[in-house]
Amino acid sequence: MSTNSEQILKEALALGPQERAELVEQLLATFQSPRDPHIDELWAREAEDRLDAFDRGELKSVPAEEVFSRIKQRRAK
């Protein structure tokens, strides 16, 4: 890693958690293809449909602890 990169990393690590998360998102986005507004609209609609189904009682939630526990168990196999 170059001296410049190391300095940038040092400064980034000094940021708060929210700012670091936003920075990571922006950096990762540079590796992706340009956004497709149609796909973004489809994902937004899907998210709204799922939220509506949850509100109607058609979908159940799973606590994060349970999800992470399941993942841990699968990795242990």
Round to whole Å and give the CA distance between 75 and 53.
31
CB of 25 closer than 8 Å to CB of 31: no
Q: How much is the pLDDT for 1?
A: 85
Q: How much is the pLDDT for 72?
A: 93
pTM: predicted TM-score of the whole model, two decimal places:
0.47
Q: What is the mean pLDDT of the chain?
A: 94
Q: Where are the domains of the chain?
A: 3-76
What average pLDDT score do residues 34-39 get? 87
What average pLDDT score do residues 26-37 get? 87
